[in-house]
Amino acid sequence: MSEVEFDHHADRSRMQVSDEVAIEVVNMNKWYGSFHVLRDINLTVNRGERIVICGPSGSGKSTLIRCMNRLEEHQAGKIIVDGIELTSDLKNIDKVRREVGMVFQHFNLFPHLTILENCTLAPIWVRKTPRREAEETAMHFLEKVKIPEQAHKYPGQLSGGQQQRVAIARSLCMKPRIMLFDEPTSALDPEMIKEVLDTMIELAEEGMTMLVVTHEMGFAKEVANRVIFMDAGQIVEQNEPEEFFSNPQSERTKLFLSQIL
């Protein structure tokens, strides 16, 4: 995969990792029927970390981050997000989802609502923010992702890259403490990948805790403080990006990197 050239290089000095734990995954296992998708996952994410998760398709990387806001249910082990353990308790799930934003591969904007309504819906209904205030916040984040002028259009009238930036703004409007990105650029044309990655780099510079499933290794080198390689439902290798790319340890990682770089 070709690497994207960034106009603006990330300022790593602004990305501080704190000692506070944001997400803790302990001995987590998940099955689809009898298929063992995630096996003994142990992972601690500190606040301010930017983690890139990569791996071949079917390795369970998307499933892993989808477990972290309970879009998928795990059957064994623990997942603790922001001090709240994810169980079948709906109240806890709602609490976690309020603090964790998610961006999807296919954007999943609400096509029947305008861009502005997409961004204000959850703050108004979930956080009970007054409409005016929610709209101001939404415009603030739309300006941040550089599409305030599209606020009154519908998602179907926007390009893929613009839609994905709206999706990021929509998540940010909930003022989340953690952001999950599930292959945010995989459905985009090369020209649009860069605009989305630029937005994500800015977000990282502001100290957002981010878990990103992606094949954009340029992005990983630019902002990640840790790269995790998964295969066959398990974490095979994790390291700082420089070490990970220059000196991979496992054979599986070497093979994967040789194929995508």
Tell me the site size for another protein, rule CB under 8 A: 27
Q: Which residue, 74 or 97, is less far from another protein as judged by CB?
A: 97
Binding characters for another protein, 47-76, by CB under 8 A (x = yes): ----------------------x-x-----
CB of 237 to another protein, least distance (A): 28
130 binds another protein (CB under 8 A): no
CB atoms within 10 A of CB 34: 5
Q: Nearest to residue 238, comparing CAs of 202, 260, 211, 203? A: 211
115 binds another protein (CB under 8 A): no
104 binds another protein (CB under 8 A): yes
256: left (phi over 0), alpha (psi -120 to 50) or beta: alpha
Count helices and strands (H / E) in the chain: 9, 10
Measured CA to CA, the distance from residue 61 to residue 42 in angstroms comes to 13
Give yes or no for a contact between 42 and 21, defined as CB atoms under 8 angstroms apart.
no
Q: Which stretch binds another protein (CB under 8 A): 8-16, 31-39, 107-115, 193-201?
A: 107-115
**What one-letter code names the amino acid at 212?**
V
CB of 31 to another protein, least distance (A): 19
Give yes or no for a contact between 121 and 110, defined as CB atoms under 8 angstroms apart.
yes
CB of 161 to another protein, least distance (A): 17
Phi, psi of 197 (to 5 degrees): -65, -40
94 binds another protein (CB under 8 A): yes
CB of 213 to another protein, least distance (A): 14
| 3 state SS of 113 | coil
Q: Which residue, 130 or 254, is less far from another protein as judged by CB?
A: 130
Interface with another protein (CB under 8 A):
69, 71, 90, 94, 97-98, 100-102, 104, 106, 108-112, 121-122, 125-126, 154-157, 170-171, 174
